[in-house]
Structure 1
Amino acid sequence: MPAKIVLKVTEGSLKGTEYVFTDRTTCIIGRGGDCNPRLPDDKDHSTISRHHCLLDINPPGMRVRDFGSLNGTFVNGKKIGQRDRTIAHREAIKAKFPEHDLKDGDTIRLGMTVFRVSITVPLACSVCSKELTGDGADGGLQTDGSYICTDCKSKQVQLEPVKKPQGADIKRCTNCGNEFPFDPDASEILCASCIENPLQLIKQEAEDDSVNIKGYKVINELGKGGMGAVYLAEQTGTGQKVALKVMLSSAAVNDRAREMFLREVENTKHLKHPNVVGLLDYGNSQGTFYFTLEYCEGGSVDKIMARKGGKLSVAEATHIILQALDGLIYAHNIQIPNVKLTNGSIVTINGLVHRDIKPSNIFYTDTPQGRIAKIADFGLGKAFDAAGLSGYTRTGSAAGTPVFMARQQVINFKYSKPEADVWAMAATYYFLLTGRFPRDFPKGKDPWYIVLQTSCVPIQRRNQAIPKNLAEVIDTALVDQPEIIFKTAESFKKALEGVL
């Protein structure tokens, strides 16, 4: 069972209604017809705005931010986020309102409606992070209040006793086996050396015949974040260069998270198309999640833009977008049979939606047939996010890239219709041609509120050299209120080809 957050209405006309969240998402609460949870548009909620506040959810974490409403949002009876009455609602985006962390038992009051927050976190083994069933009956309660699974408990009795430093427990690193002082409040099960040097971790594993990650020679680091790293590696035996992505177990991933991760990778490996970066291999080794992808030596499109002065010609940008749209058309229409869900049922998945199309997720690679554009991270971003590996950060970075998101996706990040990807592809095309985002995002203004309340700037205002007919198609593709015009990647591509 994953961590779960339940918002239960305890007062008001919606009393008894529950909203359950088990995955990473954002949502807007207000009277607007596009909000979820949606409040009644009646006299009891006349003080509530159409888009009143935003919830940023990553179970078991949750935050709330008022959108500068006239009457504020009440958390545990305390008002947060209220704007000055002399400031118009549309001007509220100029103000920065703080986010508030919510805990189990907290309440949110909006008009006459009161939500109570209930947070459930499953028990997990303090050594290997395996999820424990029931009340931990399959493991044992430790003196520090933590639990240990049966497997780790049986292994623990075989270890030589270690003198316990005052104020710390002793644990054994799941990678190198060395013992180290372990803070009972911490979640890491790797020693400091393995956490701080993931490159060395991979090299050690590559040379160790007992682990599954063997067979790859690390060449150099391509990038590193707080939870993992990406390396250029060479597959021994074939010499094929791959992008090796590694996620460390310091996120304390549980059994359900592993299952979700592997299920998502299982889905992604079915994507076999020239314009989608292919998944080659994946696994878990000594507390380390990893997978390998096709290596695109041309790099990501945003870096290509930077090398060419910040924008691309109509010809080059169009070449990239038409090929990327082919990748979208394929993914949106793929059928993946016999997928086992967590409840045990077997279903056929009809289409995969990316949800984070942007220039940094489109790559170039050279082939005998010429230069090809490929969409990267198709579904893997969602997989790591669901597995708790992306971390929990402030709104604006955790749930995607709002500058390339349609308002429908801002209102509900889990919005997964193909048209959201089509809109993002049009926004990416706009960016390639102008070096600017479709909407203006002035410094200091709330980017989420800007997406909700403003329209895109016509592309010819950014670049007058763009042909009029092409500009009209792009502008049409970026309409997202009240709805997105182009519902499919096929229709957008057909419209582009009609004016090129």
Structure 2
Amino acid sequence: MTRPASVTLTVIQGPLEPAEFVFDERTTCVIGRSRDCHPKLPGDTDHQTVSRHHCLLDINPPDACVRDFGSRNGTFLNDRKIGQREQGQTPEEGAATAFPEHVLGDGDEIRIGNTVFRVTITAEQGSPSVLRCVKCGREDSAELNARAGDHLCASCRTDPQAAAELLLDLARSSDPALAGITGYTLLRELGRGGMGAVYLARQQVTGREVALKVMLPKVATNQVARGRFLREVVITQELRHPNIATLHDAGFAGGTFYLTTEYCPDGSLDQLVARRGGRLPVDEAVRLFAAALEGLAHAHERSVVHRDLSPSNILLHRAADGALTPKISDFGIAKAFDLAGLSGLTLTGATAGKPSFVPRLQVVDFREATPAMDLWSMAASLYWTLTGLVPRDFPPKQDPWLAVLQSPAVPIRERTPQLPGPLAEVIDHALAEQPGSGFRHAADLRRALLAAV
């Protein structure tokens, strides 16, 4: 059996138990004194200068990075201080300074307070000495640590349309892995993001139109990672509901994943809000979200959690009478792609986005997936739809992930005072993040919203 890559933290100084933390899958960990940290440092006199949330490790074996959160005494990497708020600054002021990430290598040592961790990097068995792009054939050394598998160079990853056209060409040559997109042609781009792009495609024989999504891995893709991701896709394919965008087919070829989904010509919720001037009226917004929550309840009843809900993946379909029906798309897809290690390192300073709709628990327990997380993200999306603002404040220079860890949602009536009080109470309750707070079932949130207007 092939030995997987791993990143190990071994305690070589300090009383911490356990003395070894082994990570052989994609994850993140926050180190500090807070009880939700892992590893959690003790609150004794030897660690009184350690912050509650001290630093972040972003791990995608065999790659790993560390970033300080503006801690009181800093984080030391091989005895070099890599972060510390200035003398006299409050924790909040220190948090407003974003410190860079630092790549970890085999044998590095991280010191936090009086605890020292030694980093051990174990490469995947059979890792190549030279990387060659499966699309253009160019040799590439862009990865931190080489992986076995199909590799796309940095240049090819910036051209998702070329990747989509290559997939369709391969499908015309009767590649069995691409049977789901045989006979399709690209019409136009619908949107793009960090993982790839989405195109409108039409099947020549039937005239059927679908949204074709191409996803470009940032690391070499081996059989284990492919299988892990595509198994999640199969679970999503089984969802059938009027408020869920149907996932038709999925596959992999030429270093690229593809998905075909139901095409919703009226775009996404965020596009609708932009066309309406930045927010929707209460009645319309609650109607759309009540319907979307029916689709979410259907998925949760089948143990499927989305893990990446936002206004951009609530799609809209207009009926003959003009009424808009919301359809949730991409159930678990983005998160499954990341958990399979295919996104590279995503929470480090150079690549992190703003986690506007991410619940706190999803940061402290990266691999966790619960319906409550989706409900927080759904409430955050409704909050944005009604106010034009996200629930948390994200100061310009603050590390966004520390904001998620430490900043509660701003009560919605502080954003929009004229919002009805009962509706504001429901949304604020849904955005509470203390243990046991908020809603636990999509049907409960839906009933509460409808009763509040």
Coarse TM-score class (shorter-chain normalised): 0.7 to 0.9
Distance in 1 (alpha carbons) for counterparts of 2:104 and 2:171 = 42
1:328 paired residue number: 296
2:442 paired residue number: 489
Q: Is the 8 A contact 1:399 1:413 kept in 2?
A: no
- Give the SS at the match of 2:81: strand
1:381 paired residue number: 334
1:418 paired residue number: 371
Q: Deviations over 1:339-360 (max 9, x none)?
A: xxxxxxxxxxxx1222211111
2:423 paired residue number: 470
- Give the SS at the match of 2:22: strand
Distance in 2 (alpha carbons) for counterparts of 1:387 and 1:194 = 21
Out of 81, 84, 89, which is 1:82 matched to? 84
1:61 paired residue number: 63
Amino acid at match of 2:271: K
Distance in 1 (alpha carbons) for counterparts of 2:267 and 2:450 = 26
1:233 paired residue number: 201
1:270 paired residue number: 238
Amino acid at match of 1:366: R
Aligned positions of 1:69-468 closer than 5 A? 69-124=71-126, 145=129, 180=137, 182=139, 196=159, 197-210=162-175, 212=178, 213-224=181-192, 228-248=196-216, 251-334=219-302, 351-367=303-319, 370-393=323-346, 395=348, 401-468=354-421
CA RMSD, Structure 1 to Structure 2 (Å): 2.8
Aligned CA distance change for structure 1 residues 396 and 232 (closer, same or farther; 3 Å): farther
Distance in 2 (alpha carbons) for counterparts of 1:13 and 1:41 = 12
Q: Deviations over 1:41-93 (max 9, x none)?
A: 22222221211111222222222121211111121122221112211112212
Amino acid at match of 2:209: K
Distance in 2 (alpha carbons) for counterparts of 1:382 and 1:185 = 23
- Give the SS at the match of 2:215: strand
Q: Is the 8 A contact 2:249 2:260 kept in 1?
A: yes
2:30 paired residue number: 28
Q: How far off its partner does 1:227 sit? A: 5.3
Distance in 2 (alpha carbons) for counterparts of 1:194 and 1:278 = 29
Q: How far off its partner does 1:123 sit? A: 3.4
2:50 paired residue number: 48
Q: Deviations over 1:245-292 (max 9, x none)?
A: 123477320111111122111211121222122210112234432121
- Give the SS at the match of 2:381: helix
- Give the SS at the match of 1:299: coil
Q: Deviations over 1:440-472 (max 9, x none)?
A: 222122222222222222212222231111111
Q: How far off its partner does 1:364 sit? A: 0.6
Amino acid at match of 2:174: D
Distance in 1 (alpha carbons) for counterparts of 2:156 and 2:183 = 20
- Give the SS at the match of 1:403: coil
Q: Is the 8 A contact 1:268 1:379 kept in 2?
A: yes
Amino acid at match of 2:73: N
Q: Deviations over 1:346-385 (max 9, x none)?
A: xxxxx12222111111111124584211111111112222
Q: Is the 8 A contact 1:396 1:448 kept in 2?
A: no
1:10 paired residue number: 12
Distance in 1 (alpha carbons) for counterparts of 2:118 and 2:153 = 39
- Give the SS at the match of 1:442: coil
Distance in 1 (alpha carbons) for counterparts of 2:339 and 2:407 = 30
Runs of 4+ with deviation above 6 angstroms: 184-188, 190-195
- Give the SS at the match of 2:285: helix
Aligned CA distance change for structure 1 residues 125 and 481 (closer, same or farther; 3 Å): closer
- Give the SS at the match of 1:374: strand
Q: Is the 8 A contact 2:200 2:209 kept in 1?
A: yes
Sequence identity percentage: 50
Aligned CA distance change for structure 1 residues 50 and 210 (closer, same or farther; 3 Å): closer
Distance in 1 (alpha carbons) for counterparts of 2:309 and 2:248 = 21
Distance in 2 (alpha carbons) for counterparts of 1:330 and 1:482 = 25
Distance in 2 (alpha carbons) for counterparts of 1:191 and 1:469 = 53
Q: Is the 8 A contact 2:55 2:75 kept in 1?
A: yes
Structure 2: gaps spanning 5 or more residues: none
1:38 paired residue number: 40
Q: Is the 8 A contact 1:257 1:386 kept in 2?
A: no
Distance in 1 (alpha carbons) for counterparts of 2:57 and 2:123 = 19
Distance in 1 (alpha carbons) for counterparts of 2:138 and 2:358 = 44
- Give the SS at the match of 1:229: strand
- Give the SS at the match of 2:356: helix
Distance in 1 (alpha carbons) for counterparts of 2:27 and 2:217 = 22
Q: How far off its partner does 1:437 sit? A: 1.0
Q: How far off its partner does 1:15 sit? A: 5.1
- Give the SS at the match of 1:51: coil
- Give the SS at the match of 2:30: strand
Amino acid at match of 1:205: L
1:129 paired residue number: none
Distance in 2 (alpha carbons) for counterparts of 1:380 and 1:454 = 27
Distance in 1 (alpha carbons) for counterparts of 2:186 and 2:420 = 46
Q: Is the 8 A contact 2:107 2:118 kept in 1?
A: yes
Which of these two proteins has the greater Rg computed from alpha carbons? 1
Q: Is the 8 A contact 2:245 2:261 kept in 1?
A: yes
Aligned CA distance change for structure 1 residues 88 and 328 (closer, same or farther; 3 Å): same
- Give the SS at the match of 1:57: strand
- Give the SS at the match of 1:306: helix
Distance in 2 (alpha carbons) for counterparts of 1:497 and 1:230 = 34
Aligned CA distance change for structure 1 residues 283 and 96 (closer, same or farther; 3 Å): closer
Q: How far off its partner does 1:244 sit? A: 0.9
Distance in 2 (alpha carbons) for counterparts of 1:64 and 1:265 = 31
- Give the TM-score normalised by the residue count of structure 2: 0.88
Q: How far off its partner does 1:482 sit? A: 5.2
Amino acid at match of 1:432: T
- Give the TM-score normalised by the residue count of structure 1: 0.80
